Amino acid sequence: MFEIIQAGGFLMLPIILCSIASVAIIAERFWALQTKKIIPKHLVAQIWNWHKKNELTVDSLRALRDGSPLGRVLAAGLVNRHNSRTVMKESIEDAGRHEIHDMERFLNTLGTIAAIAPLLGLLGSVVGLMEVFSTMTSQGVGNPQALGAGISKIMIATAAGLVVAIPALIFYRHFQRRVDELAVSMEQEAIKLVEVMMGERDQLEAKEAKDSKVARVSPEAKK
């Protein structure tokens, strides 16, 4: 293996560094973008139970923020649960943008690796061609060993660049799609929370308005 790397020339070093970085990013993103880490099950139901038991305290909101990205998004909305529906939605959307940005961490780096790895391989091929032509100029075509070294550098560098770039591009697209799916799921959970919290509030306000109307009409009815 070392002989192959050595035959590929000095540009094999940045290609190898790109491969190490891409493997590290892919492993980290697989670990970080698990559904159970981003969107725990039954979180909205748990919040509703806290609300019914009057347990939505500062400590419970802090635990919610520390638990998951979805928890941080929902906690941002719960802080404004006593305000209007619009304010609650805006706070959720703002927190959601921050969480999506965090979920996209390192993806630009992975996409950059997918773009530059074949270019590094191409550069290695150009360097190899230059060596071949230089050998042909100085020694003619009668030295097959020198020609073979330049040609091997062309093939090895190009192949190494493609070997790094293809998986990096595949996983870059995969993680982009994964983030989009998680963002949609988080949005659905947030909408569910808003409808639950604001729905109950609307019902209470309607009931209070109805009771107030009955109280005003009752004395007149007695007359």
Domain boundaries, given as residue ranges, for the chain: 2-222
Structure tokens at 91: 């706070």
pTM over 0.85: no
Alpha-carbon distance of 99 to 75, in angstroms, equals 13
What pLDDT sits at residue 182? 94
Residue 61's nearest CA partner among 87, 43, 35 is 43
Alpha-carbon distance of 179 to 7, in angstroms, equals 40
Least confident range from 41-50, 55-64, 142-151, 182-191: namely 142-151
126 conformational bin, left if phi > 0, alpha if psi -120 to 50, beta if neither: alpha
Confidence of residue 204 (pLDDT cuts 50, 70, 90): very low
Alpha-carbon distance of 167 to 170, in angstroms, equals 5
Alpha-carbon distance of 174 to 147, in angstroms, equals 41
Average pLDDT taken over every residue of the chain: 82
**62-90 mean pLDDT:** 88
Q: Does the pLDDT value for residue 198 go beyond 80?
A: no
- How many residues comprise the chain? 223
Structure tokens at 162: 């493609």
What pLDDT sits at residue 200? 58
**150 touches 102 (CB < 8 A):** no
